[in-house]
Structure 1
Amino acid sequence: MFNSNNRSTKGESKSIMPSSNVNIIGSGTSIQGDIVCEGDIRIDGQVNGLVSTKAKIVVGPEGEITGDLVCQSADILGRVTGIIKVEELLFLKANALVKGDVYTAHFEMEPTAKFNGRCYMEPDEAPAAGSREVNNGRSFVKEEAATGEEA
């Protein structure tokens, strides 16, 4: 496995690590800030901020996100408070709890999942990620806040 014959000649280096691009935020980990990545991401800890990827987001049963999610597809088993923008399929599993508006092309949810918010099936019309302002503890989309309408 760690054979020294894996060294490359001519200065090129070969990776002995798998080529998959999966990011994991483990249980017991707390992140304050935005996460932007290219590959899949699984969150079993806590994140307070934007989570954005061009791939899939999985929020594990113990995972908790306070902030916006932007991705290609998502499976939610834990808690999310914020705007969720998914280009393809958003799937809320059994014990999921989502508080916030959802913009997605396809939406599936198991009977025991909880969803409090509005669902828009035109993800291209979603507000830009992180464009919310907080006013007296309530979130508003900047574009709509100017007109006085709540998001």
Structure 2
Amino acid sequence: MFKQEKTKLAVENSKEQNKISQGTKITGDIEAKGCFRIDGCVEGKVTTPGKVVIGKAGSVTGELSCENADIEGNFNGKLKISGTLSLRSTAVIEGEAVVARLAVEPGATFNATCTMRGGVKAIHNERGERERQKQEQSA
């Protein structure tokens, strides 16, 4: 019974949001279980299974790995987003992005190489399966 209570506490903590306020600069790697809002400056690697929001005044230089990201500020480095990357009109992105889905508002600056993962693989697999079935039927 004690283990179950501990597990519930860990799940509840992962829903809490971490915040890096404007005027704060962090250099180094950050790993968290909850979501993040960054209005300050981060230089390093940020890793979380949740969502990351980079506000208008926020800046990240390095690597960002998360489920979803909503960017209004600046990012320079490598993005690894397992879900949706949303770029607001004030966003400035430079570097490399690996995402499942991408949403870009008019006015956003996106100077990055982008690789789409996730749903695209399923489409390729379906096409490959259809072609293989056609070949088997014609043989």
Which TM-score band (shorter chain)? 0.7 to 0.9
2:117 corresponds to 1:117: no
1:67 match: secondary structure? strand
Aligned length: 107
Counterpart residue number, 2:37: 42
**Which residue identity lines up with residue 121 of structure 1 in the other structure?**
M
Paired residues for 1:98-137 under 5 Å = 98-122=93-117
Question: Which ranges of 4 or more aligned residues in structure 1 deviate by more than 4 Å?
Answer: none
**How far 1:89 sits from its partner (Å)?**
0.3
Paired with 2:80 and 2:46, the residues of 1 have a C-alpha distance of 10
**How far 1:97 sits from its partner (Å)?**
0.3
2:17 corresponds to 1:27: no
Paired residues for 1:90-101 under 5 Å = 90-101=85-96
Counterpart residue number, 1:70: 65
- Report % sequence identity: 40
Normalising to structure 2: TM-score of the pair? 0.74
Counterpart residue number, 1:142: none
Q: Which runs of 5+ in 2 are unaligned?
A: 1-8, 119-139
**How far 1:29 sits from its partner (Å)?**
0.3
**Which residue identity lines up with residue 52 of structure 1 in the other structure?**
T
Paired with 2:113 and 2:56, the residues of 1 have a C-alpha distance of 23
**Which residue identity lines up with residue 116 of structure 1 in the other structure?**
N
Counterpart residue number, 1:141: none
| Structure with more of its chain in strand, by fraction | 2
1:101 match: secondary structure? strand
Paired with 1:65 and 1:32, the residues of 2 have a C-alpha distance of 10
CA RMSD of aligned residues (A): 1.6
| Structure with more of its chain in helix, by fraction | 2
1:28 match: secondary structure? coil
